[in-house]
Structure 1
Amino acid sequence: MSSLRWSRRTFVRAFGVATVLSPAILRSEQAWAQINKSGAGGLAPPSNGSFLVPIIRKLELDKKNGLDFDINLYSDPSTLYSDLAASRTSHIFGAIYNCANFYVRGVPLQLLFTISTANHAFVSKNPDIKAAGDLKDKTIAATTSSGFYGMAVLFLKQNGLDPRKNLNIINAPPSSVQTQLLAEKVDAGLLFDPALSSMLSQGYHLVGDMNAGIRAALKMQADANVWYLGCYGHKDWVASDPKRVAATLKMWQDAAAFYNENAAEADKLISEFAKVSVDALVLSRKLSITQFKVAPAIEEKGNLDALFGGFKEVGFLTDVPDAAIYYPWTKKT
């Protein structure tokens, strides 16, 4: 079946697990034309998913790799994913969980490469709340519609906590989580970068080690990558030009290398583009919160499969994707 003919029912089912459908999702099926020339979509600032975009543009890494990177950046994640389902974008840079969610529901996608590891954590200003167990019976603000909330639930359960029994979870968008923390209306909040680093620079502290807890719960290696963002696209787009796919990987690898090797210059570019303070970016690096590691997804299959299994365990996936979700990276490009 062509990826250009997915019905409303198909992507309503795909979003049913973790996202409430907005009118934009329902309208997108009526606008099948690709939204831009390259077909690329991604998360808009201040999302850390946008951090490598100004580097690509400044260094003209797209042109150096024979591409024209006119990415469309979305401030609303639900529209980013609905446009992919409706083929208004051919490939996106977003949460890997959503690729798996669409795939197991019949949308023909392939996971191409990883971009960054998870940078989510619970924070608090209460000195008595330091470890995960200290959250018992506390009030926590979190964006429960976010796919990665599933991993947060796994982390909580690993520490004997259940959001339905011994926690008071208040669902709120990310900006509201920060507001409630600052107003001291909640005991703790679940955040991700750059909001996470920003709050840590204002006297808040991490509660436990979420990634370590996830690794323990899923029996992963102690140093295993806990992935968050990646690149994936429609199979027909991938198959139509393997050289373009390889060039896209190389472009993002070059951008990640610049981020990792030229911290001061990269942080200045990101700060100006995403309107995030340099101090927060420096703190994120110091604490190893946001980490860009661009590699073929199939090379991380073991870690990704473990994460998919975790998402299924907490009810965020109906099934674990089979091996065909991974682009093989074995054909000549």
Structure 2
Amino acid sequence: MRRRYQIGLSLLLAVSAITPASAQELEKLSIVVFGAPSLGAFLPPVIKQLKLDEKYGMSIDFQERTPDAYTAQFNSGEFKVGGSAALLTVGLADIRGVKVTYLFNLFDYWGAVVTSRPEIKTIKDLEGKDIAAAKGTTNYVMFDWFARQLGVDTSKLSVVNTATPGLVGYALADRATAVQLWEPAYTTLHAKKPSIQLLDLKIAESWEKATGSRNIPYLGVAAHVDWAEQHKALIPKLYAAYKDAGAWTVAHPDDAAKLISPKGNDGDRKAIADIIRANERLGMNIRAAAEVKKEIRSVYDAGRSIAFLPSDPSDATIYGGPMQ
């Protein structure tokens, strides 16, 4: 009880330090994100609990969707702003004539392949086997690229496509030879099944060899170009809200874990807090798109090399407007 009180007091003090704009001045904004567990759903509960949207004169309504529904509803313009904006998906939308722009990065890439089968030692061993994955996500596309760097013929993988919330269940039930997922799903899974085997993708080594950098912009916030042009003054406020949420999360990992995993048990929340502290797998890196333009282009190059992108996305996909 005392612990709950202390956490509640910590949150209350954080909220009380914020002076939100009056309700009449709040600009309404609807943002579509992936459902939990996902990186897109990581910071929204922090933003809402601490009223960081109100601090910057906004009232944000975060709407959760599956990856396929997210892509369809964002690309169609039903939602003008997306908070689970995978960079390669933004690039592909642009090539297909949907004018969108990557406003800022939230997380760098990290992906994993796990298995409970003792005979599977490496990614190469998965050729000819089934692997459960959310195939419509950029995380899977990037996995495809990294697997190829290790000499894997990914056309020989039998992919069982499922939505991101189902990946942990596949791994727990051992319903496929392997499962491709990422944070925070990996940490949630490992907390429930510590014996699960992680297959090494050699992400940092392969990326540095190919690009000369270890930064891999992966997921952030994107918007339709027409919306961005009409809301230039709002974008820096949205960026500031996310930056504040990220800084608070890093400073208060235990409290943040309770917001990010409200339905989880103590073990789940401890695992979330641990990855926030370490950040190696989480990869939180909140940067304006213009600051990582070179790295974004490297991600586009990777997408082209595996034929996910048929051509180069336009410069307009990398937002260059002011962020202050």
Is the pair's TM-score, using the shorter chain for normalization, greater than 0.5? Answer: yes
For 1:204, the equivalent position in structure 2 comes to 196
1: CA distance, partners of 2:311 / 2:40:
26
Report whether the alignment pairs 1:243 with 2:252.
no
Match of 1:278 among 262, 269, 280: 269
Segment of structure 1 superposing worse, 186-195 or 298-307? 186-195
For 2:303, the equivalent position in structure 1 comes to 311
For 1:14, the equivalent position in structure 2 comes to none
Change (3 A) 1:134 1:265: same
Match of 2:312 among 308, 317, 320: 320
Change (3 A) 1:181 1:309: same
Structure 1 gaps, min length 5: 1-35
TM-score, normalised by the number of residues in structure 1: 0.79
Going by fraction, where is strand more abundant, 1 or 2? 2
1: CA distance, partners of 2:251 / 2:279:
16
Residue pair 1:46, 1:274 contacting (<8 A) in 2 also: no
Residue pair 1:297, 1:326 contacting (<8 A) in 2 also: yes
Residue pair 1:121, 1:210 contacting (<8 A) in 2 also: no
Residue pair 1:154, 1:214 contacting (<8 A) in 2 also: no
Segment of structure 1 superposing worse, 275-284 or 91-100? 275-284
Kindly state the Cα deviation for residue 320 of structure 1 after the two structures are TM-superposed: 1.8
Match of 1:294 among 276, 286, 295: 286
Instruction: For residue 115 of structure 1, give the secondary structure of its aligned residue in structure 2.
Output: strand
Change (3 A) 1:247 1:274: farther
AA aligned opposite 1:148: N
Match of 1:155 among 146, 152, 157: 146
Structure 2 gaps, min length 5: 1-26
Kindly state the Cα deviation for residue 78 of structure 1 after the two structures are TM-superposed: 2.4
Kindly state the Cα deviation for residue 58 of structure 1 after the two structures are TM-superposed: 1.6
Kindly state the Cα deviation for residue 251 of structure 1 after the two structures are TM-superposed: 0.8
1: CA distance, partners of 2:36 / 2:174:
26
Kindly state the Cα deviation for residue 212 of structure 1 after the two structures are TM-superposed: 2.2
For 1:42, the equivalent position in structure 2 comes to 33
Kindly state the Cα deviation for residue 287 of structure 1 after the two structures are TM-superposed: 6.6
Residue pair 2:95, 2:312 contacting (<8 A) in 1 also: yes
What CA RMSD, in Å, does the superposition of the two structures yield over aligned residues? 2.6
For 2:108, the equivalent position in structure 1 comes to 117
Match of 1:68 among 56, 59, 66: 59
2: CA distance, partners of 1:215 / 1:110:
24
For 1:266, the equivalent position in structure 2 comes to 256
Change (3 A) 1:273 1:233: farther
Give me the identity figure in percent.
25
- Residues 144-177 of structure 1 show CA distances to partners (whole Å, capped at 9, x for unaligned) of 2323222111111111110224x44444444554
